[in-house]
Amino acid sequence: MPQSKSPQLRSDPLPELLFARDIRRLRQFAPAADGAGWLHPVQRALIHRRGWLRMLAPRAAGGAELPLPYAVRLEEAIARADGSMGWVVTLCAGAGWFAGFLPPALARELIGTRRVCFAGSGAPTGHADVEGDGFRITGRWDYASGAPMGTHFTLNAILRQDGEVLRDAAGNPRIRAFLVPAALVAPEPTWRSVGLRATASHSYRIEGAWVAGEYGFEIGAATATAAGPLYRFPFYPLAYFTLSANLAGMAAHFIELARDAVARRRDPASGAMLAELPAVRRRFARAERDIAEARTRFYRLLDEAWALVAEGGALDEAATAGVKSASLELVQACRGAVDELYPYCGLHAASELSDINRVWRDFHTATQHTLLLPLAD
pTM of this structure: 0.94
Amino acid in the structure at residue 208: G
Positions of the chain with pLDDT lower than 50, given as ranges: 1-15
Per-domain residue ranges for the chain? 15-111, 118-223, 233-372
Q: State residue 161's pLDDT score.
A: 97
Question: Is the Cα torsion angle 333, 336, 341, 346 positive or negative in sign?
Answer: positive
How far apart, in whole angstroms, are the C-alpha atoms of residue 260 and residue 276? 13
Q: Please state which CATH class domain 233-372 belongs to.
A: mainly alpha
Q: What is the pLDDT, as a whole number, of residue 377?
A: 61
Q: What is the pLDDT of residue 13?
A: 43
The pLDDT value recorded for residue 18 is 82
Chain CA centroid to CA 135, Å: 29
The CATH T-level fold of domain 118-223 is Butyryl-CoA Dehydrogenase, subunit A; domain 2 (2.40.110)
User: Can 15-111 and 118-223 be said to share one CATH topology?
Assistant: no
Query: CB under 8 Å to 176, separation ≥6 — which residues?
Result: 128, 135, 156, 157, 159, 216, 217, 218
Assess contact for 284 and 251: CB atoms under 8 A.
Answer: no
DSSP per-residue codes, 84-97: HHHHHHHHHHHHHG
- Residue 203 · residue 144 · CB < 8 Å: yes
Q: For residue 16, what pLDDT is reported?
A: 62
Q: Are 89 and 50 in contact (CB under 8 A)?
A: no
Which element (helix H / strand E) includes 81?
helix 68-81
Contact 323, 239 (CB under 8 A): no
The yes or no reply on domain 15-111 and CATH 1.10.540.10 is yes
pLDDT of residue 241: 98
pLDDT at 1: 43
- The pLDDT assigned to 56 comes to 98
What are the strands, taking DSSP E only, across the chain?
118-120, 126-131, 134-144, 152-161, 164-165, 175-181, 186-188, 202-212, 216-217
Q: Give yes or no for a contact between 15 and 23, defined as CB atoms under 8 angstroms apart.
A: yes
Cα–Cα nearest to 334, from 79, 121, 133, 26: 79
- What is the pLDDT at residue 6? 34
